[in-house]
Structure 1
Amino acid sequence: MQHSITGQYLARYQRLARDPGGPRELLPVTGAQRRFLLVRALDPQGRPDIVPLFFAFPRGTVDLARMRRAAGHLATLHPALRARPEVVRGAPVHRLTEADVPVERVETAPGEDSAAALRRTLRGWSAQGSPLRIYLASAPDASEEAASGEGVGEEVAEEILTIALDHAACDGQSLSRVTEELSAAYSAGSGPEDVAPARAAQEVVAYREAVLLQLDAEGRASAPGDLAYWGERLRPVRAQAPEARAPEAGALPTGGAELRLPAAEDGAPPVPFPALLDACASAARALYGEDRVSPLGYPWGGRPAAAQPVLGCFLNTVVFPATAGAANRTAAEAGPESLYELSAAWWDDLDHADTPYDEVVHAAREAGAPWSGRLDGLLTVEDLHRRPLRLGGVTGREVYVNGRPVRAPFAVSVSQGDGLLVRMVWDRAVLDDDRAADAFGELTGALSGHLRRLEPSSVPQF
């Protein structure tokens, strides 16, 4: 294990931890956190990956002082929400600090709506600061609307509450707990002083143990057999997206399209994950060509079996090679048999899904892949039922704020709630709107083909 990237990192961290004169407040980082910190370091502006949730509440519902106490309670309790990234003696770590969560009202500038104000605020996110930040943005005042002769719409009666987290501090499971525990703390009026020091210390121990267990699993998944698997699997891959160009002045940095599918009347399960991968591969072929193999990424994973359910980032980014060639039609075109083949390959990938991303990239390059590690697309799946936010007896309505930057040329998100919402966004500095819209058509066409062909139990379900 010591010869793997993970083994070398763990040895460095353990040397820091054994040093009698070393700082006690340093925590190790998972492979996923290692990747996010590297991406941040390579970004010209030092921008972290941010995961924002947006909830619409009737105006006047949210008490910012009460919310500030609730947010401080969470950050005092959970180490991941009060840790700051650092590099100490060549090892990336998280340093524990006091809880200090910004909870602020965002004022709209002239000509801005609440969405534009929130985009501006998130763009200004400083990498130095709390990994949890909360913002409240209002629509223009109703009296101003009336004075201008405009009607008062729904947005005027609502405010948008944004719960934003550094991705290095959270994953999907963490998002659910953040909204649940924030709701509970807000309802109870809890603040930082309500977390007993002994409880906070226990959480630090549990978090450190969970990360070390995760690193142990990642080290085992970095054995020669795992690396040989990924090297062979990704040998034909290289990033196909064109270089970024200067965006048009005044345009939003991203474009987007979405398709909403109603819930199945017979209670059929969600779309199988391999079918979503196949649909994303259709989009990649439309964007980059039929004779290319594009690397697509999707998050996968969870806490190690023996670990406590701490907040943090325990997912991994798994790479899927979008198959090239006109002969390799989408599984939706070729029929259920091809989806079985794709599903079998996906299950094989999951057997090696704990191999950290940096190890996978290194293995692919060692096998001859001319690939830098840059992804051509991303796929995420989320269950909206798992993260309600209830404040003052009111359940917020989760909404979407478009136009935010994306870390890949295109990204597809599939939200499972009352039906299925398929959304694709793309970086306008890389992809043309018309071509991206055509690719979304290919994606939704492939997905529709799967929905027509599939029986509920025909392939493994996500």
Structure 2
Amino acid sequence: MVYRSITQTYRTRFEAVRDELAGAGDDVLPLTGAQRRFHHAQCMQPESRRTVVCLFAEFPAATVSAELLRRAAEAVVRRNPALRSRVDSYAGVPLQRIVEVNVSVREVSGHDARKVVRAALDEWPGDAGPFQLVLGRDTHTDLLALAFDHIVCDETSIGQVVAQLTEAYGADVDVPDRVVVDGMDRYRDAIHTQLDRELGASGEEALVHWLSRLRDAHTGRWAVGRRADEGAASRSDWRTVALPTVRGRGQLFPTLLASCRAALVEHDDTAPVCYTWAGGREAGPESVMGCFINTVVCCPPGDGFQAVQHAWWDDLEWADTPFDEVVRAARQAKLRWSGHLDLVLTLDDRSQRTIPVLGGVAGKETYVPGMRVGAPMIVSASYDRHELNLRVDHNPALVPDDMADHISGAIVDAVRKRFHASA
């Protein structure tokens, strides 16, 4: 089989239109593989609905100043070109333009701050930038939502924005032009570095590895018969698990993968568990904000924790192989699995993220249920040294509530059993 890299083909097409647009004075950049997938998914959605990721923080009522918040957000946007990007297509080539954007804070109020914030996030203005701030107020709470179009951020990026927003709030932070220029240079370099990684992991050896993993994978239980309302609001199950023995991501992540896989394979024809992965990207103030993740398939040759753990470590060598490359290879090989996602796992290290502090008042991170999800089921895990929070969101238009509850319970039980056994 001859493999023609999707990444290289895209780069060649982008460079052709870049030279043309540069003559017109446009500042354009290519998209990473993940960004192109999000852009394609958005184009396929009703009303070009965005994939939105949020951080929610609660403060005491009447604590947060919308004006100070707006000024702080302007400083954050000025530092980070990803938050000034607009993704579109030119001559059929998806790309991002770095433009000036207006930053505003949408204030909403009502009997329940959570409900009015969720409603506001469902109505993302069509001309708005990729970063939105919604401040919901009721008699007890100021609820702040930092909302991002996923096309411009990953989990590491959210932590950066929180830290920068906290620093700039009420401080009238001035962002010099040299910082803006440096930010643009670093963002451009980071995108091309990511594309280099994706291209380097797109060769025949990588795809042979993934095809060997996927040869017995199932099509996906919720892959057919999708309904028009599949973008309906999700339903959530939130659990907390004590973690007295966790020694880091390398121990926790395969446990979560094995637990998700065991819960899913109880149901016939389910697709392999997939997870988001940021490669060698490190959290920290010097990290470049953007969308530098990949979707990776977990399909070990055996069952049980040991099989999943060993396969996961082996798979990390090829974790940068773009998901689209894997899907195309599977389709060309006429495998049953052709790219469908039944369950996606994400993992967030809370110890690497600053708690939002505005005006000297620390916010409490929370979650607003009912947000739209981009897969039938999403397991969002976040942890610190002693505690794991598991949130299982499912789309009720695709996954029956009783089945989702069973899968959620099985995941939590498996995680608890694993850590109890290793204590």
Q: Same fold (TM over 0.5)?
A: yes
CA–CA separation in structure 1 for the residues paired with 2:99 and 2:247: 47
Q: TM-score, normalised by structure 2?
A: 0.91
Q: Does the CA contact (< 8 Å) of 1:279 and 1:446 recur in 2?
A: yes
Root mean square deviation, CA, Å: 2.4
**1:446-461 matched pairs, under 5 angstroms:** 446-454=414-422
Listed one character per residue, the Cα deviations across residues 170-219 of structure 1 (whole Å, up to 9, x for unaligned) are 111111110000100114222xxx22222212211111111011101111
Q: Distance in 2 between matches of 1:4 and 1:57?
A: 49
Q: 1:49 matched to which residue of 2?
A: 51
Q: Secondary structure of 1:95's partner? A: strand
Aligned to 1:319: 297
- Is the counterpart of residue 180 in structure 1 residue 148 in structure 2? no
Q: CA deviation at 1:340?
A: 2.5
Q: Deviations over 1:233-278 (max 9, x none)?
A: 1223322216345779xxx8322222212342x6755652111111
The counterpart of 2:374, out of the listed 394, 397, 407, is 407
1:57 is aligned with what amino acid?
F
Contact 2:294 2:322 in 1 (8 A): yes
* 2:357 equivalent in structure 1: 390
Aligned residue number for residue 78 of structure 1: 80
CA pair 60-107 structure 1, distance change in 2 beyond 3 A:
closer
SS in 1 for 2:295: strand
Question: Do the aligned partners of 2:86 and 2:98 also contact (CA within 8 Å) in 1?
Answer: yes
Q: Is the 8 A contact 2:279 2:319 kept in 1?
A: no
Report if the CA contact (8 A) 1:77-1:203 is conserved: yes
Alignment-derived partner of residue 98 in structure 1: 100
Is 1:262 aligned to residue 230 of structure 2? no
Q: Which runs of 5+ in 2 are unaligned?
A: none
Partner of 1:442: 410
Q: Tell me if the contact between 1:106 and 1:117 (Cα under 8 Å) persists in the aligned partners.
A: yes
The 1:128–1:232 alpha-carbon spacing in structure 2 relative to 1, beyond 3 Å, is farther
Question: Identity, % of aligned pairs?
Answer: 35
What amino acid is aligned across from residue 282 of structure 1 in structure 2?
A: A
Is contact 2:271-2:340 (8 Å) kept?
no
Q: Partner letter of residue 8 of structure 1?
A: T
Q: Deviations over 1:348-371 (max 9, x none)?
A: 211101111111111111222233
Q: Which string of whole-angstrom CA distances, capped at 9 and with x for unpartnered residues, describes residues 97-156 of structure 1?
A: 113222110133xxx5222211211111145421111011112xxxxxxxxxxxxxxxx3
CA distance, structure 2, for counterparts of residue 322 and residue 244 of structure 1: 28
Alignment of 1:353-364 (within 5 A): 353-364=319-330
Supply the distance in 2 between the matched residues of 1:278 and 1:80 (Cα, whole angstroms).
34
Question: Which deviations, in whole Å up to 9, do the C-alpha atoms of 1:5-33 show, x marking residues without a partner?
Answer: 10011112222333452443111111111
SS in 2 for 1:137: strand
Work out whether 1:24 is the aligned partner of 2:26.
yes
Letter in 1 for 2:221: Q
Q: Is the 8 A contact 2:3 2:204 kept in 1?
A: no
Q: Equivalent residue of 2:142, what SS? A: strand
Q: CA deviation at 1:90?
A: 2.1
The 3-state SS of whatever aligns with 2:315 is helix
| Residue of structure 1 in register with 2:306 after alignment | 340
Shift of 1:2: 9.8
Q: Which has the larger radius of gyration?
A: 1
1:302, CA displacement in angstroms? 4.4
Out of 309, 326, 334, the position equivalent to 1:368 is 334
Equivalent runs, 1:268-347 vs 2, <5 Å: 269=248, 272-286=252-266, 288-289=267-268, 292=269, 294-302=271-279, 309-321=287-299, 331=304, 339-347=305-313
Contact 1:76 1:99 in 2 (8 A): no
CA distance in 2, matches of 1:314, 1:22: 28
In 2, the alpha carbon distance for the partners of 1:269 and 1:448 equals 16
One of 37, 40, 43 as aligned partner of 2:39: 37
Aligned ranges 1:172-251 → 2 under 5 Å? 172-190=155-173, 194-237=174-217, 238-241=219-222, 243-245=225-227
- 1:115 matched residue in structure 2: 114
Match of 2:6 in 1: 5
Aligned equivalents of 1:14, 1:132: Cα separation in 2: 27
Are 1:107 and 1:138, in contact at CA under 8 Å, matched by a contact in 2? yes
Task: Mark the CA change 1:267 to 1:72 in structure 2 (over 3 Å): closer, same or farther.
Answer: same
CA contact (8 A) 1:210 1:303 kept: no
1:129 is the counterpart of 2:128: yes
Cα distance in 2 for residues equivalent to 1:157 and 1:34: 41
- SS of 2:53's partner is strand
TM-score by length of 1: 0.84
Shift of the 48–198 alpha-carbon distance from structure 1 to 2, 3 Å rule, reads: same
C-alpha distance in structure 1 between counterparts of 2:333 and 2:126, whole Å? 35
Structure 1 residues 370 and 207: CA distance shift in structure 2, 3 A:
same
Q: Which amino acid aligns with 1:257?
A: D
2:143 matched residue in structure 1:
160
Distance in structure 1 (CA, Å) of the matches to 2:404 and 2:281: 38
For residues 212 and 16 of structure 1, the distance between their equivalents in structure 2, rounded to whole angstroms, comes to 16
SS class of match (1:204)? helix
Q: Distance between the aligned counterparts of 1:188 and 1:397, measured in 2?
A: 21
Cα pair distance change 1:234/1:267, threshold 3 Å? closer
Give aligned pairs, total: 412
The answer to whether the Cα contact below 8 Å between 1:294 and 1:321 also exists between their aligned partners in 2 is: no
Q: Return the letter of the residue paired with 1:350.
A: L
SS across alignment from 2:265:
helix
The verdict on how the C-alpha distance between 1:202 and 1:61 changes in structure 2, with shifts beyond 3 A counting, is: same
Bigger Cα displacement from structure 2, 393-402 vs 371-380: 371-380
- Find the aligned partners of 2:235 and 2:393 in 1 and give their Cα distance: 6
What are structure 1's unaligned runs of at least 5 residues?
A: 140-155, 332-338, 456-462
Q: Could you tell me how far 1:390 is from its partner in structure 2?
A: 0.6
